[in-house]
Structure 1
C-alpha cells in the first residue's frame, strides 16, 4: 500500500489548495450523492454517507452544498443521475491500475479513460484483469507524530481492525469496509486523531519503480484523476519518495 498511500496523501494536500478546491468539491459531492443512493439520506443510519460528509467538512465544503447534494440524491432536488463504473488496466512498466468513476455518460467516460491509458503508455484491460491483486479496505489515517506505534496497533486490533502500516507521516489502519465506522469511533474514543477516513483498494503485491519510471506512472494517475467523472485511481506502484516530491 505504501506507494498508493503516499500518492493519496499528496493528492489530498493538493486538493486543499484553492485552485483545486472546485474539482475536489465535485468529487466529494459525487461521493455523498452515491452514498445517499445506496443507503438513504440519514448519516446516522448510513455510515458510508457519514464518512463522505466528514471528508467534505474536513476540506471546508459549505454546509449548503452538502445539503443540496443530499436533497438531489434523495429525490427532493432536481439533477441528473449518476452510476458507478470501474475500469482496470496496466500502466507503464506493468503497473496494475483500477479506476473508479461516477458518471452520467458511460460512453464518454470509457472513451476518456481508454484514450488516456493509450496516450500515456498503458492499456485498458477487461474486468478482473488486475482486481484479483487488490483488496477493498476501510482506511483510517492517523498522524504519526507523537503516537506510539505498538500502542496504536493494539488499540486498532482490539477495535476490530485487520492490519496497520506506516508511510512515515501517517499510520494507516486497515479495516473491513463495514467496520470502518466502528474502528474509527473506538480509536477516537481512545484519544487518537483521525485525519482521514475512506475506502481504498489496497494492492497485495507491488511493483518497485525507479524515480524516472515512477514519474511516468504518476503522469498517468494524475491525468486520470483530473477527469471530473473519475473518483479514485488505485495502483500497485511502489513509488520512491523522490518522485513524490516533484
Structure 2
C-alpha cells in the first residue's frame, strides 16, 4: 500500500521532548480530563476517552496515572476548564506548522506560541493558512519485530477498515479515517498488537526538504513549543536531512 508517512523522519526529531516523560504524562492527563468532561468517565460509553487512553498507553503512561487523571476530571478538578485552540504558522524556510493547545488562559498561550515562532525565524499565521496542506487521520505505529508477519498485519488492518498500510524501515504505519480510528485500533488490540503511537493527528500531504542549518533552527522552535505546558501537539511538514542529528 502506498503512503508517505515519514513517521520515523518526523518522530525521531521529537526524542528530546518525548524523553521528558513527566511532561508528556501531564499533557495526556489534560486530554483525559477534557475527554471525561466531554463524554463522561466510562470509556465504554465515551469513544474520545477510549482514544486518549490508547494514546496514553502507547506513551507508556502507567495505569495508575490514567486512572488518577480520570478521577480528577470527574471529581475535585471539575471547575477547571481547558479551551482547545489551534494555531497555524510558518517555521523557517516556509515549513508549515500546526500547534494544538489546551489552555485555561488563551492570552498566555497565544503570546507564548507567537513568541516561539518569532524567536526562531517563523511567523504565526491566520486560521487556515496551512491546515489545507494536512489531512486529519488516525494513525497507529507498530514496531517491526520477530513474530509479526507483515502480510498478516496488513490484512488485519485493512479488514478492520484501515485506509492505508505502509511498511517502513523499523515500523508498520496504519492510517485510518478519523471516524474509523477507534474501531480499527480496537480490532488490532484484540489481536494482541501493541502500538508505539496511537492517535488521531494531522498528516501533511507533502513535505518540505530542509538543510542542516534550517533543521537546527527549526528543531529549536519545536523544542520551545513542545516544552510549553499549554501545547499538546505540534504537526509540521519538514523533512529533515537523512542522518541529521541536532
TM-score normalized by the length of structure 1? 0.87
Name the SS of the counterpart of 2:42 in structure 1: coil
Answer yes or no: is the 8 Å Cα contact 1:89–1:97 preserved in 2.
Answer: yes
Distance across 1 between alignment mates of 2:221 and 2:33 = 27
Per-residue Cα deviation, 1:194-230 (whole angstroms, up to 9, x for no partner) = 3331111000111112233222222211211110000
Q: Cα distance 1:211–1:145, how it changes in 2: closer, same or farther (>3 A)?
A: farther
Give 1:55's aligned residue: 55
Name the SS of the counterpart of 2:35 in structure 1: helix
Distance across 1 between alignment mates of 2:213 and 2:150 = 33
Give 1:124's aligned residue: 124
Give 2:70's aligned residue: 70
Q: Shift of the alpha carbon at 1:53?
A: 2.2
| Structure 1 stretch displaced more, 215-224 or 122-131 | 215-224
Answer yes or no: is the 8 Å Cα contact 2:100–2:233 preserved in 1.
Answer: yes
Distance across 1 between alignment mates of 2:194 and 2:66 = 23
Give 1:82's aligned residue: 82
Answer yes or no: is the 8 Å Cα contact 2:163–2:175 preserved in 1.
Answer: yes
2:206 is the counterpart of 1:213: no
Answer yes or no: is the 8 Å Cα contact 2:97–2:235 preserved in 1.
Answer: yes
Answer yes or no: is the 8 Å Cα contact 1:34–1:73 preserved in 2.
Answer: yes
Q: Shift of the alpha carbon at 1:10?
A: 5.2
Give 1:231's aligned residue: 232
TM-score normalized by the length of structure 2? 0.87
Instruction: Show structure 1 runs of 5+ residues with no match.
Output: none
Distance across 1 between alignment mates of 2:231 and 2:193 = 31
Instruction: Show structure 2 runs of 5+ residues with no match.
Output: none
2:171 is the counterpart of 1:200: no
Q: 1:11 aligns with which of 7, 14, 23?
A: 14
Distance across 2 between alignment mates of 1:124 and 1:210 = 22
Distance across 2 between alignment mates of 1:238 and 1:3 = 8
Give 2:155's aligned residue: 154
Distance across 1 between alignment mates of 2:15 and 2:167 = 17
Q: Cα distance 1:227–1:4, how it changes in 2: closer, same or farther (>3 A)?
A: farther
Distance across 2 between alignment mates of 1:178 and 1:12 = 29
Answer yes or no: is the 8 Å Cα contact 1:4–1:235 preserved in 2.
Answer: no
Q: How many residues align structurally?
A: 241
Give 2:92's aligned residue: 92
Name the SS of the counterpart of 1:41 in structure 2: coil
| Structure 1 stretch displaced more, 213-222 or 26-35 | 213-222
